[in-house]
């Protein structure tokens, strides 16, 4: 029966191979989800065809994926709206049930490079709105 001779060069090659293998499996340095820049509480000032409004809203993580956010108190309607994030922008298409029946909310938003100013343009039942939101 042949035996395997464990020499110093063989051992060195095995150790080097193991180190290279595990270092290749390291976590990426830039693995922060794009949605994270949107997370937080905002003071919103909104101009709509129906009038002007001021309110606070909170953007939270969703369990639906790293590209999804939940906007609590969207448009000061007291509802949570789900939005899909793509880099510095997000899109909204949400059907909500109200006391007068179902209402469709559509729109999009973007955040500035500093992550402090959010602009949202949306439409709900023919009311066109633009919200300027400052992270607090």
What is the per-residue pLDDT across 113-134, written as a single tens digit (0 to 9) for each?
999 999 999 999 899 999 999 9
Radius of gyration of the chain (CA): 25
Confidence of residue 6 (pLDDT cuts 50, 70, 90): very low
DSSP classification of residue 20? H
CATH architecture for the domain at 34-135: Beta Barrel (2.40)
Residue 100's pLDDT is what?
79
H helix intervals, the chain: 8-23
pTM for the model stands at 0.76
The number of CA neighbours under 13 Å toward the Cβ of 28 is 4
Query: In whole angstroms, how far apart are CA 17 and each of 20, 27, 44, 99?
Result: 5, 19, 55, 65
């Amino acid at each position: 029966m042949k035996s395997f001779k464990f020499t110093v060069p063989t051992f060195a090659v095995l150790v080097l191979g193991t180190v290279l293998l595990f270092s290749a499996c390291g976590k990426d340095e830039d693995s922060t989800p794009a949605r994270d820049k949107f997370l937080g509480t905002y003071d919103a000032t909104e101009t709509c065809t129906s009038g002007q409004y001021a309110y606070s809203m909170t953007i939270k993580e969703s369990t639906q994926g790293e590209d999804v956010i939940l906007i609590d108190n969207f448009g000061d309607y007291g509802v949570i709206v789900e939005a899909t994030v793509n880099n510095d922008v997000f899109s909204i298409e949400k059907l909500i049930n109200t006391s007068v029946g179902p209402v469709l909310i559509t729109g999009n938003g973007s955040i500035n490079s500093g992550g402090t100013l959010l602009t949202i343009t949306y439409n709900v039942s023919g009311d066109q709105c633009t919200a300027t939101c400052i992270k607090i």
